[in-house]
Structure 1
Amino acid sequence: MSGIDLDARQGIVRLDDPFDADTLVGRLSAAGYEAVRVDRAPVFDRDTLMHALYQALELPAWFGFNLDALADALNALEPKQGKRRVMVFQDFTLLEDADPDLAETFCEIVDEACLLPEAGLVAAILLQGRG
């Protein structure tokens, strides 16, 4: 997987390699992670981000679709069938361009969740985008 060591690089991982998100999800799954593609539909604001995360990570019914609830949900996220989870974004720059503050806050929440001793979430891999 060309330089991705998720044991050493947890949290937000920006990857410039020219991977397609679906290909990367397949490779991560083969490496033993529960890898999910988050932005199958464009993610460009709070609502689209929350709904994409809710669906991709299969968040619990109590999820409140706000940043506090997101932090709580990611902190409580457990491995799925014994596999730690990795989120993959094909074009995170769409959200960064549309709402830089939200993108930054999301990255901070992910970094914090991945640092927990028994974190179910390993990383969010942000690909270069489609150009």
Structure 2
Amino acid sequence: MNTQTELNKSLFSTRNDVNTERTALNDSLKNTVSGKILDAETNEPLAGVIVTLRKGNNSTTTDKNGLFTLNIPENSLTDLMAFGISFVGYIYQEYEFKRQDLPIHKDQIFLHGDITLLGEVVIIKQKRKW
């Protein structure tokens, strides 16, 4: 074999590898829900918000900019799905979507503070007996 033939085979192989990786990446992005979560009152991004697929064990958290990407594996796909958003001190939200709508990107999801008034709290300290 001459050097030109080996080079052509090498380039062809590399192109196929890149195309395979690109296809795999596109397939993985196809089954995603992504977006940005903000505080409804201040419009500030919320870091550490938990985003969970309703059926399944898939979840993710938002980064410091409030951004998230939730990957949905093939075996979790159904015709109608939902993802939930929860964060301490905020009202839980859930969004339903259809499989054919994937990928989904929500530019802004606003979480509202949960104002729950607690009743009286009594703290009792006992004296130690030595």
TM-score, with length taken from structure 2:
0.22
As a proportion of its length, which structure holds more helix? 1
Q: Which has the higher strand share?
A: 2
Higher relative contact order (CA 8 A, sep 6+): 1
